Amino acid sequence: MRQVVLATRNQHKIDEVTRILAGAGTEIDVLALPADAPEVVESGATFAANAMLKARSAAAHTGLVSIADDSGLCVDALNGMPGVLSARWAGTHGDDAANLALLVAQLVDVVPVRRGAQFVCAAAVVDPRSGDERVVEGVLEGRIGTEARGLNGFGYDPIFIPDGAELTTAQLQPGEKDAMSHRGSAFRAVAALLVL
């Protein structure tokens, strides 16, 4: 079984990406980023740039093929924000509850027709042996709900409603979410790259 390093310490993301790659029919052993790997400052202006920064760092540290993503929520009424700042929208990186509360508060007076949003995921693959580097992207269109609903998923899942659905992505079963999500789309494309 081929081993790849996923450049994250977020267990939710490790579980999700492992599930997506397995669902794509690949036999890939997804390894978490080692504890002694350096922290990467996500200084890129785009999801793709940040994903590549993380994948390059993990590949350099481990010597293994490394994959990474940068993903977030782009809200129409906020001119595409929080965007690359999604994980730290409320000021502290990874504080999902605070990020959700701030976003809901910012949209409280926004009419439904202006609550459109997109989940975007850029996924990078870096092979330190061949020097090959690739980035693929997945997008899920939808809208922002008025309150958090559901216990599955993480991040902004409890307030994001995909186009054509009434349930939030946090109310979907993991397999249902993977089939339509931005991360599912991006990492299915990664799976195809990894089996080449």
Write out the catalytic residue numbers.
70
**CA 179 → CA 17, 51, 138, 175, 187, distances in Å?**
12, 22, 12, 6, 11
Which backbone phi and psi does 73 adopt, to 5 degrees?
Answer: -110, 130
Label residues 57-74 b or e (16+ Cβ within 10 Å = b). bbbebbebbbbbbbbbbb
76 half-sphere exposure, CB direction, 13 A CA radius: 14
